[in-house]
Amino acid sequence: MNPSPFFEIEKRKNVAILWLNRPEKRNAMNWPFWRDLPDMVDQINADPQIHCFVIAAKGKSFSTGLDLEEFFQEFKPVVQGELADGREKLYQLILTMQKGINAVYNSKKPSIALIQKHCIGGGLDLVSACDIRYASEDAVFSLRESKVAIVADMGSLQRLPHLIGNAHTRELALTGKDITAEEALQMGLVTKVTKDFDSLLQAGLKTAEEIAENPTIVIRGVKQVLNHGIGKTIEEGLDYVAVWNASMLDSKDFRAAIGGFMERKRPVYNPETRVD
């Protein structure tokens, strides 16, 4: 796997942990984060032995978001371009930065975000692109961009309304305030809160392993059907899943499930890529 100064990929059987690995800066997102994230997700997608991945962070915090000081120093001419040519360069830079978080969201492999302490700005963008989010009791979330004179542009404003509702999203975005892990749990931003990081990692890996045991073709289908359904009517969603199952239902794993049911045995899925 290609190395990155910001990320580390660790494999545990059929689960990968994508570590944010800039603990000395509380995983503030400098250029290597935005540059390398698409490649990290591509590596995970390309490995058939990885059925599910966890995004976690080394150090005291998940992420304090965009490294504003370093980013401004590196891209000041682009950010402050006066004419249309310069503004277009900034537009293209923003689109480039969106690619990694979009890659997490669009990956056919499920992702679980494990959040401790700070999850600020870009950190919230990243976890909002994941399928499942767990947090430790000390986690603090903030859609902070309004407090630093930026309209959030990495996905929170687009994805959070589907996770926590429009009203909660507007309150977070317009105030830039902090919310606790318990508040995040109540609004549905996270679905589990644990005592500390060790128990958080344990819970996240347990869920990831449970997902990884299911048929990968079905997991891909579940993600695709759920993502396709956003913004669609129930009827459109039902038609899409009918088309999906008409095309994909009769898989090797489906036949294993039927055989296991008839023989009263638990089926073993994904035998070609399973790591015991």
Average pLDDT over residues 157-168: 97
Edge-to-edge strand list for the sheet holding 140-142: 118-120, 140-142, 178-180
Dump the DSSP string for 178-198: EEEHHHHHHHTS-SEEESSHH
pLDDT at position 165 over 90: yes
Average pLDDT over residues 156-161: 97
How many residues would you count in the chain? Answer: 276
Q: Whole-angstrom Cα distance, residue 160 to residue 62?
A: 18
CB 168 within 8 Å of CB 130? no
pLDDT tens across 180-194, in order?
999 999 999 999 999
Q: Which residue has the higher pLDDT, 253 or 172?
A: 172
pLDDT of 1 reads 66
pLDDT of 84 reads 85
Average pLDDT over residues 208-220: 96
CB 62 within 8 Å of CB 116? yes
pLDDT tens across 4-60, in order?
999 999 999 999 999 999 999 999 999 999 999 999 999 999 999 999 999 999 999
pLDDT tens across 114-134, in order?
999 999 999 999 999 999 999
Q: How confident is the model at residue 267 (pLDDT cuts 50, 70, 90)?
A: confident
Burial annotation 235-253 (CB, 10 A radius, 16+ → b, else e): eebeeebeebeeeeeeeeb
Give the three-state DSSP class for 148.
Answer: helix
Residue entry with tokens 């997608």 = 45
pLDDT at position 264 over 90: no
pLDDT of 240 reads 94
pTM of this structure: 0.95
pLDDT of 180 reads 98
Q: Whole-angstrom Cα distance, residue 193 to residue 190?
A: 7
CB 106 within 8 Å of CB 113? no
Within 13 Å, how many C-alpha atoms sit on residue 209's CB side? Answer: 11
- Measure CA of the first residue to CA of the last residue in the chain; give whole Å: 21
pLDDT of 254 reads 87
Q: Which helix (H) or strand (E) holds 199?
A: helix 197-212
Structure tokens at 106: 């669009």
Q: Whole-angstrom Cα distance, residue 210 to residue 223?
A: 16
Residue entry with tokens 């947090």 = 135
pLDDT tens across 215-261, in order?
999 999 999 999 999 999 999 999 999 999 999 988 888 888 888 88
pLDDT of 265 reads 85
Q: Delineate the domains of the chain, giving CATH numbers in brackets.
A: 7-212 (3.90.226.10), 215-263 (no CATH)
